[in-house]
Amino acid sequence: MALVPAAGRGERLGFGMPKALVPVLGEPLLLHAVRGLLDSGWVNHVVVAAPSGAVEDVDAALGSTGASVHVVPGGAQRTDSVRRALTESGRVAPEADVVLVHDAARAFTPASVIRAVVRAVRSGADAVVPVLPVADTVKQVDPEGRVTTTVDRSRLRTVQTPQGFTPETLRAAYAAAGDAATDDAGLVERIGRQVDTVPGHSHALKITTAFDLAIAESVLAASVP
């Protein structure tokens, strides 16, 4: 089972439409993301949180993926969108043993990453995130922009999606969630549960700007036989 928050407005992309519907090589970004999950072979049901004013458009865009994909209206914050999709998932697939949460914006995540996350949860982890090492030097600054310290980057990781959870863990994290978090594993950390990692992949980049979109299009064009 996978939840796909796709209700962001995508203003930084500058297409004047929800990011989920922006065409990439002729197909909406969200369709690439949902197809990637289903084609991994390890996801049978997907619940998408769509922009509240675009539920029908999103439904139409995903028509080709079949009956295993459900669309619900998202909320004001990503956390609200995931919460709504999580509620729907309990109705759609109450028997699921793993719940993935995958940003529509990471539409080109390789199947190997999706499978590694599912495998880690099935092997006993409560929560799993794909991560990459940090290539740049990272500095902490004060409010005036003056450097206060240089962080040891060898222990830092950037975090991608899909993030994987046992259904009980994700439900407990959302039941306790107050403030919005930038990722779902952050809510799991707050309830004191362990979050494990698996290697991420550069192709799982989050498409936020037109530059990211150009990179994704060239990656996709190169992978089409």
Instruction: Kindly provide the b/e burial profile for residues 124-146, where b requires at least 16 CB atoms within 10 angstroms of the residue's own CB.
Output: ebbbbbbbbeeeeeeeeeeeeee
Helix (H, G, I), strand (E, B) or coil at 150: strand
76 binding ligand C5P? (CB under 6 A): yes
Quick one: CA dihedral 172, 113, 95, 55, positive or negative? positive
Read off the tokens for 117.
């996350």
**Residues 104 to 123: which contact ligand C5P by CB under 6 A?**
104-105
Nearest Cα to Cα of residue 178 among 161, 191, 193: 191
Stretch that binds ligand C5P, among 74-82, 114-122, 162-170, 171-179 (CB under 6 A): 74-82
208 binding ligand C5P? (CB under 6 A): yes
Q: Do the Cβ atoms of 175 and 121 come closer than 8 Å? A: no
Stretch that binds ligand C5P, among 1-9, 54-62, 127-135, 140-148 (CB under 6 A): 1-9
Distance CA 115, CA 111 (A): 6
Cβ nearer to ligand C5P, comparing 150 with 209: 209
The type of residue at 184 is D
Read off the tokens for 201.
């992949």
Cβ nearer to ligand C5P, comparing 8 with 162: 8
Among 74, 130, 186, 200, binds ligand C5P (CB under 6 A): 74
8 binding ligand C5P? (CB under 6 A): yes
Stretch that binds ligand C5P, among 70-78, 138-146, 148-156, 170-178 (CB under 6 A): 70-78
Cβ nearer to ligand C5P, comparing 11 with 168: 11
Q: Tell me which H or E stretch contains 38.
A: helix 29-39
Stretch that binds ligand C5P, among 4-12, 37-45, 90-98, 210-218 (CB under 6 A): 4-12
Alpha helices by DSSP H, the chain:
29-39, 55-61, 78-92, 111-122, 167-176, 184-190, 210-223
81 binding ligand C5P? (CB under 6 A): yes
Distance CA 74, CA 131 (A): 26
Stretch that binds ligand C5P, among 3-11, 60-68, 92-100, 167-175 (CB under 6 A): 3-11
Interface with ligand C5P (CB under 6 A), residue total 16
Distance CA 68, CA 92 (A): 9
103 binding ligand C5P? (CB under 6 A): yes
88 binding ligand C5P? (CB under 6 A): no
Q: What residues make contact with ligand C5P under the rule CB under 6 A?
A: 5-8, 19, 49, 74-78, 81, 103-105, 208
